[in-house]
Structure 1
């Protein structure tokens, strides 16, 4: 194994796997800490954890365990993957995990670059934009678990770490990888080892990837991984989703727990297209009027691509949190989706489409999935996934990713029967 990756959630890890596979690496996504060595042909291993919103000390512990396993596989470089919207709070977990990994590797300078231009995420003068909006005005300020109310990544990161934070601005990035490398060295020698790097285009990410070829630790969104495989002699592969997986004798079922603007729009588009959709009301779950078995039965009885969703507008989310408690609502919804996915698979469903990082993590854990092979891309940042050693196929979509027709498009690429 050449490149060892640690993801803080399952959807982001599949996004990273997709980027690396398209760039020509043989990739396997591991769901949790593997209990056996990687196959000898694996060039990039992505250990996907569910550490984005757990207590910081727990996130650090799990990440260091993943690092130890990846080191045992012979990796020469390591990548800490977090969300392209830098999802975190002042307590972490991006800063604490990066600190721990950096110290374990004696890493020297460490860059932070969550930019992903293909999905509208860019960094300019240290500020993160979502399309033409600052992160703090993009809808992410209403995220129920990690509200992002400051677009200045230098301030956000500085609130989470004891290490001084530096910045490589767009002028150095435009000058190419040698200038980026010199700027990283300059910031490090000035006593700022954690360094935000601007990026507005994919070309900027590729140049930054070249600049960090000799650094033991890189952190960012999946976009920065565009420039890493070439450092290992890999060349781009064709995984454009044009043909998709072969057909299966299974319908596809979609489960959406994200409350992002993108997912809410996809849910509404799915309903307008006449596809069956079941709205999960938090009170019904918490007051035991809805359970996984009845929801699974309803989904199986429907035609097309049936969808169950808890996605709601920010006002509804806040009202539920005030009434029942934020963590109580989140845990109840996650548990319902996890149990529903398990009930669907027990009833013969082999294709599941999941929207939302927490939802996807709960589903993967409930289905006891150990590893995925990365398949064709459905939409930027979202690949089709084949469970290793099983007939099960999944799509794990970050809440903010995907086009309006994502659920039906994913069903087709995953090989669902009509």
Structure 2
């Protein structure tokens, strides 16, 4: 069968990969509303840093898994790595639902980090492989919309289930369904896409030119420091997920302390990733039309506004949380597909999977950085100050992109 690049030409497999990524994202949504409260209310953990430890474990493990995911994909094929990711995820909902100690929750997040680093990375790489260079922004918008939309909807649903039935085990039953459906789809209906990357790579190599296949260390240095565009993108990704890591741990505790009920916290936690996810259906194509840099810079600044609104005394805690979360979600929706598309633009197809892995390493290290920062600041100054510090870091990151990055979109 002759293969062709393009979204229209490969819409069936693309759609199936969108569905799989909804299951991948839903696994993260399991934890957004309930797990911090499991730590404080069921296991009686009083220290903010210890409560946030599950996010630090998740972020660090996912970051390092992202780093090697591209190498594994080139060695074992994209499909095998995707299936491997689901196998690591199978025990997670059971451990979250019935784990007898906080150590089990930490262990579940180690496995979840590995699973997400492998599975989500592969859905990104496989969609980029299929669509080719012209529709990368749209492809990443649809991919991340599916994943983060599922994060938000699952966070909302677990909040209602927890309010109705208790914190455990009922809210985690959804995760059992996600893992089984995601694994079966990945084994039986998803096809590997490495041949599509090879086709694109051949199209950008001139006759007689040797393809450059650098090792991971070279790609790490190039993506992290040497290439100005890739450096700007990587630090923006880190700060973007620092916001998410901070909100993951801080928002349930902050808004419960302000008198917001569990259902209200579920809405605050859900609206951020839902707007983030759904918004990318629009912002992904905008990144293809207007360029990557404007979406990244202004998306970071919109997130700053979200931080300012949260805790604003003119509003009730619930309203400030909802408005702030909408702004955080909108800003992140502007940033996310543009960042992935910018990395794909700047990296050669022969080492693009590894470069995406390095970018995602820095981006998802932001989860750990956000939780660590939040724990330290909350212990010293209070939970609300963790939100303010994250906003300041986001402002500085947007300025760095503004000054350092050149547009990567090919006209």
| TM-score of the two chains, using structure 2 as the length reference | 0.28
- Higher strand proportion: 1
Structure with more relative contact order (C-alpha pairs < 8 Å, separation 6 or more): 2
- Higher helix proportion: 2
